[in-house]
């Protein structure tokens, strides 16, 4: 009887430990919305990620303003930032929605914020006041800023390793292979495609990996009618962009399936939402 009790205690401990570990793994993967800011088609490098709050897209004031050729000055005692650009003098205060543009008060519908030592400001206000046109590309979560005669200094350019076209193709395959699954599973599917792109065993572009059929059709849903015109869901775009920005929850896995593979040439790496991922 004592051994039975000990066995039960051990099994309970093991189950609790497994649940806790599972929660830790799950908690490690959470939505991260990577907003891209482009000035004259150049992606802008920032040390604090842009974010969306109160219906507005916030960006680092210094990085965007200086990329546009403006000077930015910070006065810590007043918690005030001043932007000087051509004929514009813009003063703003952290935790306030009132700004001075050439000495004239203007208000915006949300406060200036500070995050990790950077002043974060709604991008539309600052870009338009610096004479730019601004558009929001909802599909790929990008702010598009255009201004004639502005050449972005190289130090502010983020050399992104993927294109918007790569992002959309990747989001499409996530949509048809795992659109109804958890973020963890969607992210894993995205990384399998990226891992294949980086492997000498497969084509070297996301598009060609998806349509690869040298040995057999790799992703059957991609060959069905309507796939090439599919507008992926927001959650699939988010998953794809997370993977393209380097968030990998599946290691070097190159294969996945909704049933176990019978082949002994691959090694099971992880099971997520009933999907089997192999190395």
Per the structure block, which two tokens stand in for 128? Answer: 């338009």
Question: Please, are residues 90 and 72 in contact by the beta-carbon 8 Å criterion?
Answer: no
Surface-to-core class of residue 185, CB atoms within 10 Å of its CB (0-12 exposed, 13-18 middle, 19+ buried): buried
Give a yes or no: residue 135 inside a domain.
yes
Please indicate, yes or no, if residue 43 is contained in any of the structural domains.
yes
Same domain assignment for residues 200 and 265: yes
What pLDDT band is residue 6 in, cutting at 50, 70 and 90? very low
Give phi and psi for 166, each to the nearest 5: -60, -45
Question: Rounded to two decimals, what is the model's pTM?
Answer: 0.85
Tens digit of each residue's pLDDT (9 = 90 or more) over 140-192 = 999 999 999 999 999 999 999 999 999 999 999 999 999 999 999 999 999 99
Residue 14 lies in a domain: no
What digits encode the pLDDT tens for the residues 231-259? 999 999 999 999 999 999 999 999 999 99
Handedness of CA 116, 119, 125, 127 (dihedral sign): negative
Same domain (yes/no): 125, 226? no
Q: How high is the pLDDT of residue 9? A: 40
- The vertex-86 CA angle with 84 and 88, nearest 5°, equals 55
Do 139 and 45 lie in a common domain?
yes
What is the residue range of 62's domain?
Answer: 36-156
Are the beta carbons of 204 and 258 closer than 8 angstroms? no
Do residues 135 and 219 both lie within one domain? no
Tell me the C-alpha distance between 46 and 37, whole Å.
9
What pLDDT is attached to residue 161? 95
pLDDT band at 107, cuts 50/70/90?
A: very high
Looking at residue 262, what is its pLDDT? 87
85 and 64 assigned to the same domain: yes
H or E element that contains 169:
helix 164-178
């Amino acid at each position: 009887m004592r051994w039975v009790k000990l066995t039960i205690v051990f099994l309970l401990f093991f189950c609790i430990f497994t649940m806790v570990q599972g929660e830790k793994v799950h908690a490690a993967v959470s939505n991260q919305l990577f907003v891209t800011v482009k000035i004259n088609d150049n992606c802008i490098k920032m040390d604090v990620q842009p974010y969306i709050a109160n219906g507005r897209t916030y960006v680092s004031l210094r990085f965007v303003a200086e990329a546009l050729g403006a000077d930015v000055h910070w006065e810590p005692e007043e918690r005030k930032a001043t932007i000087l650009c051509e004929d514009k003098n813009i003063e703003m205060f952290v935790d306030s929605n009132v700004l001075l543009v050439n000495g004239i008060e203007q208000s915006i519908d949300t406060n200036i914020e500070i995050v990790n030592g950077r002043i974060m400001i709604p991008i539309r206000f600052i870009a338009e006041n610096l004479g730019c046109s601004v558009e929001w590309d909802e599909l790929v979560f990008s702010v598009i800023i255009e201004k004639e005669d502005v050449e972005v200094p190289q130090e502010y350019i983020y050399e992104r390793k993927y294109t918007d076209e790569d992002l959309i193709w990747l989001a499409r395959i996530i949509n048809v292979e795992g659109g109804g699954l958890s973020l963890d599973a969607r992210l894993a599917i995205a990384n399998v495609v990226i891992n294949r792109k980086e492997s000498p065993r497969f084509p070297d572009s996301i598009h060609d990996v998806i349509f690869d059929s040298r040995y057999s059709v790799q992703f059957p849903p991609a060959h069905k009618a309507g796939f090439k015109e599919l507008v992926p869901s927001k959650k699939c775009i988010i998953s794809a962009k997370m993977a393209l920005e380097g968030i990998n929850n599946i290691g070097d896995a190159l294969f996945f399936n909704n049933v176990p593979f019978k082949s002994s040439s691959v090694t099971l790496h992880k099971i997520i939402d009933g999907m089997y991922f192999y190395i």
